[in-house]
Amino acid sequence: MNDPGQPREYARELEASYSAVPRAINEWFGRCHCPCASAHPGDEGICEAETPVTTHRFETGLTGPVDVPLCVPCAAAQGVTELTAG
């Protein structure tokens, strides 16, 4: 049987998954994604998913260099900027 609802349903799913992409990117870049536990184990938990102000290039064995958004506390903890006090 030809169900006319089927293609439309599919198109809606497709549209939904496409519109989810920019939202996911936005969420990804909207907060800090520093691998705190490995990047600065001594200061784990200093960032509460703060707004990133800079990016830092991490080498991941799988994908090669990746620019990861960093917030100020994370950047400072890694010595990326001159923000470290003392």
User: Is 72 an interacting residue with respect to Zn ion (CB under 5 A)?
Assistant: no
Contact predicate 84/72, CB 8 Å = no
Rounded CA gap, 35 and 39, in Å?
A: 6
Q: How far is the CB of 62 from Zn ion (least distance, A)?
A: 20
User: Is 71 an interacting residue with respect to Zn ion (CB under 5 A)?
Assistant: yes
Rounded CA gap, 76 and 79, in Å?
A: 5
User: Is 76 an interacting residue with respect to Zn ion (CB under 5 A)?
Assistant: no
For residues 47 and 80, which CB has a smaller minimum distance to Zn ion in the complex? 47
Residue of 58, 68, 69, 74 that binds Zn ion (CB under 5 A): 74
